[in-house]
Structure 1
Amino acid sequence: FIASRQADGGTEIAGALALAMGLPAIPQRLRQLVFITDGAVGNEADIYQSIAAADSAARLFMVGIGDAPNRAFLRRAAELGHGVATVIESTAAIDSDLSALFRQIDTPQLTDLQIDWPSNAESYPRQLPDLYAGEPLWLTTRLDPGAKAISSTLGVKATSASGGLKLTLPLAHATAANGLAKIWARRKIQSLEDGLTLGADAEQVRNQVLATALTHHLVSRYTSFVAVEKVLRRDDQAALVRADFANPAPADAIAFGNTALGWRAQLLYGL
């Protein structure tokens, strides 16, 4: 079927995606969509909004192909579609990468995840993805510095193949580590910038990104690092000395003065 298609246009994702996600739901069935694309689109914001407004019961899996797939687009589209993104690096990896993806699709471990964080917690990502076999779930959470310490356990609610599920995760072995604050800040900045595609106020996002990036010394779309070289060239009290140097000339070159006659005339007179 694909070989019979004539591809003579751009990457038109919006219409195909809207059609697939708008199909009637089947009771007791979870709709899972696999979208194969290079992600080279110019209307990312419109596509994000379309996915976010679609049936939340569907799952969207993005597969990136081509020499330089748009990884940021694939990641964000999969997040909004409660799925995962896979990038196929080469034709030799097609079988292994797609087989791994379909194994994940066949075995969702937990869906509809909810975590009972304290009310003052700031956790990212805001929208928790489903948990698939072989796919870790990474969350970064910050508690109010003035709040009481978190309890020794953490409650998790989810839906598994056998129905509703409640888990209690022990936190007794949690230890402090350097760099966690920066990891959390990066996830927050990513979440804020992603919000721009869904209509968040640009000025508010800019102010929050600036505050977070400056506090944690991170690069963002509004901040950057500037390197200032501090090298002692001479002692401030040393006397200045003036010296005249000849203009640099290529090796074995003969220098002629810049006169009105020009160098050719000077050469003839010299001969």
Structure 2
Amino acid sequence: MKLKYLIVCLFVVLMSIVGQVSAQEPTPFIEPPIWEFDGLRIEYQRVNVAISDQVATTHIEQLFVNDNDWMLEGEYLFPLPEGAAVSQLTMWVDGSPIEAKILERDEAQQIYDEIVRQLRDPALLKYVGTQAIQANVFPIPPRDERRIEIEYTQILPADNGLIHFTYPQSSDLYTNTPLDEQSIRVEVQSNEEIRAIYSPSHAVDIFRDGDFRAVAGYEAFDVQPDKDFELYYTVSPEEIGLNLLSYKEAGQDGFFLLLVAPSVQVDEVVAKDVILVMDTSGSMEGEKMAQAKEAAQYVVDHLNPEDRFNIVAFSTGVRVYQSELVAASQPGDYSSFINGLEAIGGTNISQALLEAAAQVENGRPTTLIFLTDGLATEGITDTPLLLDSVQQATPDNVRIFAFGVGDDVDTLLLDSLTQNQHGTTSYVRPFEAIDEEVGNFYTKISTPVLANVHLEVDGVQVEQMYPAELPDLFAGTQLVLTGRYRSGGAAVITLSGEVNGRTQTFTYHDNSFRNSGGDDFIPRLWATRAIGHLLTEIRLHGEDAELVQSVVNLSIRYGIITPYTSFLIE
């Protein structure tokens, strides 16, 4: 049921009453009153999904609120996921079970068509051809509410270890106002090892509990859902799982998505060096300094036994914990060094990074964690010169991960540093906790399993892949790679990299790029990645006309808002 459908029904009733009065006796024209409808408001929508070996049980709880001074009536209509084989259905209203039925495709389509025809609203068209749940759950008294719960079980489709879950959620089915609160939680348990977990529709937080259980969560407030929630996950006995999705229209190049995910528990971990480069200038005084110390403590506490580390603190000058890298198995009194750091002086970024680079051992994977809250005020202060000197001094085996704290950091410097060394940049706003950001990040990259990653595809011509430079793989994380391909067909995909100085290769046979059809979300995902890559190039190297035009073309074609095209879409 939709609010607009309710309005139409009420309008018809009012007009029929006016017609009866007019037939009895003529009356002078009276301007009709203006009716204001606040309509139905969804205070919350909470979705909990439990998936066990492809059997998904979805429990939905919605609270509808009638903010009007009159009663609203109608029927509740909930579209079921396309292709869902529903084996169990339960429904409650305010805690009491009610009678509900599953409408088959033809019957549900008649209802969708009727609503669309009356309202001229295409919002329901995407559900045509699906089943639906129908029940009489209204009326809702004025200034009252109704709590609705639905639970259904379905078997999820699997394709070569790739499982796909969909929750059909368009709040426009019930109301035109944003949801006050929305949450979706999906818990996955499997007898096979879970590898990649990915949502192309929503930004989800993923928690892994070993190789056989994982939880994906999404939460939003004051939100108007405009697309279904989709989640893909893969299972594989391989040490590093790889799954392929593709989409192709006739006569055009295709799009593909690769999900690459190593096991959470690995037999062999890459031994690494970790160098913490910490800003201790005067601007770090107070809570920022305290949190930076907590972050450094966390990183060193969670090193693997085979790792080595050092700490480089900088302000006007540089202080180092030890003159050379220290074995994590014999760390010494690093806590006293960290706790003794004080925020005072200027910001000598160049000396700190050059000191860190001088400690790197060629060939050994090295993670450099760089934390700063400001601009260079000592040493080399010119950004291009600083970048050039650091790049020349830093070996290729170093990955720089930068954390910019506050709003006054040199974003060009940080982004360029991390791009040159195949790392990432994270920006910590003033109200965010530095130690939590660094701790969460280090948990993800603490256990590298494959360094200097390369990927080859034989049998199908691929191009325009993003990310352009493949990152290292870490236990429990995943690589999401998008790209284009010319013609569909069978392909052999080879993934290679280094493990403790040895080259290791993983070969995946029986991968098929589609000749037509497939997963239609992939083109827009690829375009989003392509635009992101182009915008980074523009930010780092200036507004080249060709790059800007490429952004505009992709933005218009795929409907993606960018700094260069938002005026076209608003």
Q: C-alpha separation between the residues in 1 aligned to 2:559 and 2:535? A: 17
TM-aligned CA distance change 1:135 to 1:48, over 3 Å = farther
2:352 paired residue number: 16
Q: C-alpha separation between the residues in 1 aligned to 2:398 and 2:375? A: 23
The answer to whether the Cα contact below 8 Å between 2:448 and 2:473 also exists between their aligned partners in 1 is yes
User: What is the SS of the residue equivalent to 1:218?
Assistant: coil
Q: C-alpha separation between the residues in 1 aligned to 2:562 and 2:389? A: 26
TM-aligned CA distance change 1:186 to 1:18, over 3 Å = farther
Larger relative strand fraction: 2
1:184 paired residue number: 526
Structure 1 residues 38-57: aligned runs within 5 Å:
38=373, 54-57=394-397
1:114 paired residue number: 454
Q: C-alpha separation between the residues in 2 aligned to 1:79 and 1:135? A: 20
Q: C-alpha separation between the residues in 2 aligned to 1:94 and 1:209? A: 33
Larger relative helix fraction: 1
TM-aligned CA distance change 1:72 to 1:81, over 3 Å = same
| Residue of structure 1 aligned with 2:548, choices 206, 209, 218 | 206
1:6 is aligned to 2:350: no
Q: C-alpha separation between the residues in 2 aligned to 1:215 and 1:110? A: 37
Q: C-alpha separation between the residues in 2 aligned to 1:182 and 1:93? A: 33
Give the letter for the 2:344 counterpart. Q
Q: C-alpha separation between the residues in 2 aligned to 1:5 and 1:155? A: 49
- Cα deviation for residue 126 of structure 1 reads 1.0
Q: C-alpha separation between the residues in 2 aligned to 1:12 and 1:205? A: 34
2:315 paired residue number: none
Q: C-alpha separation between the residues in 2 aligned to 1:216 and 1:15? A: 45
TM-score, normalised relative to structure 2: 0.33
User: What is the SS of the residue equivalent to 1:167?
Assistant: strand
1:157 paired residue number: 496
TM-aligned CA distance change 1:201 to 1:31, over 3 Å = same
The answer to whether the Cα contact below 8 Å between 1:35 and 1:60 also exists between their aligned partners in 2 is yes
The answer to whether the Cα contact below 8 Å between 1:61 and 1:84 also exists between their aligned partners in 2 is yes
User: What is the SS of the residue equivalent to 2:553?
Assistant: helix
> Could you list the runs of 5+ residues in structure 2 that have no partner in the other structure?
1-336
Structure 1 residues 118-129: aligned runs within 5 Å:
118-129=460-471
The answer to whether the Cα contact below 8 Å between 1:189 and 1:212 also exists between their aligned partners in 2 is yes
Structure 1 residues 77-156: aligned runs within 5 Å:
77-85=417-425, 97-117=437-457, 118-143=460-485, 147-156=486-495
Give the letter for the 1:148 counterpart. S
Say what the alpha-carbon RMSD is for the aligned residues. Answer: 3.9
- Cα deviation for residue 130 of structure 1 reads 0.9
Q: C-alpha separation between the residues in 2 aligned to 1:105 and 1:227? A: 38
TM-score, normalised relative to structure 1: 0.63
TM-aligned CA distance change 1:71 to 1:27, over 3 Å = closer
Q: C-alpha separation between the residues in 2 aligned to 1:172 and 1:37? A: 46
Identity among equivalent positions (%) equals 24
Give the letter for the 1:37 counterpart. T
Q: C-alpha separation between the residues in 1 aligned to 2:552 and 2:437? A: 38
1:237 paired residue number: none
- Asked which structure has the greater CA Rg, the reply is 1
1:30 is aligned to 2:30: no
Give the letter for the 1:166 counterpart. T
- Cα deviation for residue 121 of structure 1 reads 1.4
**How many aligned positions are there?**
222
User: What is the SS of the residue equivalent to 1:222?
Assistant: coil
TM-aligned CA distance change 1:227 to 1:123, over 3 Å = closer
Q: C-alpha separation between the residues in 1 aligned to 2:432 and 2:544? A: 43
Give the letter for the 1:129 counterpart. P
The answer to whether the Cα contact below 8 Å between 1:121 and 1:141 also exists between their aligned partners in 2 is yes
The answer to whether the Cα contact below 8 Å between 1:39 and 1:73 also exists between their aligned partners in 2 is no
2:111 paired residue number: none
- Cα deviation for residue 99 of structure 1 reads 4.3
- CA deviations on 1:226-270 (whole Å, 9 max, x unpaired) are 468xxxxxxxxxxxxxxxxxxxxxxxxxxxxxxxxxxxxxxxxxx
Q: C-alpha separation between the residues in 2 aligned to 1:18 and 1:196? A: 27
> Could you list the runs of 5+ residues in structure 1 that have no partner in the other structure?
229-271
User: What is the SS of the residue equivalent to 1:155?
Assistant: strand
User: What is the SS of the residue equivalent to 1:62?
Assistant: strand
Q: C-alpha separation between the residues in 2 aligned to 1:86 and 1:46? A: 23
